[in-house]
Amino acid sequence: MIGLFDSGIGGLTVVKALLEKAPKADFVYLGDTARYPYGNKSQETVERYAKEDAEYVIKQGAQLIIVACNTASSLALPKLQETFPNIPFIGVVKPAAQAAAALGRHKIGVIGTRATVNSGIYEKVIKKYAPSAEILQRACPLFVPLVEEGLLDDQVTKTMVKRYLMPLRQANVNALILGCTHYPFLKPLIQRFMGKKVKVIDSAGTVIQQAMENYPDLFLAQDNPKQTITFTETSSASDQVASRWLGRQVKGVKADL
């Protein structure tokens, strides 16, 4: 079974990619909606939350964990690997950074939570694969609560897209990494604002592809696949956004960590 976790509903962008590539694989998803967002928390707190999230999906039977959260991938991945040495972890940062570097474009924008941006992880990883790339980063802290509230095409959201991304558009970036798994919910707005010439990259598809290449047996079709979506705080709003995004009826299960 594949385990995935995020601070909230954002990691469902990775679940959607999983269902597109392996629709009958076993998985359990945990969204820590009771404690989101992670992006304004300290590293110590993010490590503790991520450890508890991982413990939960392991108890559900996860043999591989996809950390479907950029903040946790940036701040907690080494701690997770140390704490659970027998469980492989795959974060979302490296696949997105590799995808951006592979484009051969030299001015790359990165947007994410404050914690992700302040960690500098994207610049470090991109530079490993594209040493000459110029990296411009912007924290967009209000995007996560706007997505969690389901305000995907609201005027307030459009205003914040313009406010956060105008400096990157004016700087003429030619690629933009969505450094938070919540942000693909806003990809249409972001792409429209940045323009067709800017390649907008999210890590959902790339992280699933990497996981499938490394652990193919876990993605095999099952006759009666166990596919569970859990939240630490359930709500009709989360269920509605999840249902609309995944194209299926979602009734989140309450997870007690």
Q: What is the pLDDT of residue 104?
A: 80
**CATH tag, 2-91+205-254:** 3.40.50.1860
Q: What pLDDT, on a 0 to 100 scale, did the predictor assign at position 155? A: 96
pLDDT digits (tens, 9 = 90+) for 79-88: 999 999 999 9
Q: Classify domain 93-203 by CATH architecture.
A: 3-Layer(aba) Sandwich (3.40)
pTM of this structure: 0.89
- Alpha-carbon gap, residue 211 to 218, rounded angstroms: 9
Q: What is the pLDDT of residue 237?
A: 84
What is the per-residue pLDDT for 209? 92
Out of 69, 77, 133, 140, the active site residue is 69
**What is the chain's percent helix, strand, coil content, to nearest 5?**
50, 15, 35
Start-end ranges of CATH 3.40.50.1860 in the chain?
2-91+205-254, 93-203
Residue 69: active-site member: yes
Which tens digits make up the pLDDT trace of 219-257?
Answer: 999 999 999 999 999 988 889 889 988 999 999 999 998
Low-confidence ranges of the chain (pLDDT < 70): none
Q: How high is the pLDDT of residue 189?
A: 96
Contacts of 250 (CB under 8 A, 6+ apart): 229, 239, 242, 243
Q: Which residues of 163-181 are buried (b: 16+ CB within 10 A; e: fewer)?
A: ebbeebeeeebbbbbbbbb
At residue 257, the pLDDT reads 87
* pLDDT computed for residue 41 by the predictor: 94
Query: Which residue in 46, 133, 180, 242 is the catalytic one?
Result: 180
To the query of whether residue 180 is one of the catalytic residues in this protein, the response is yes
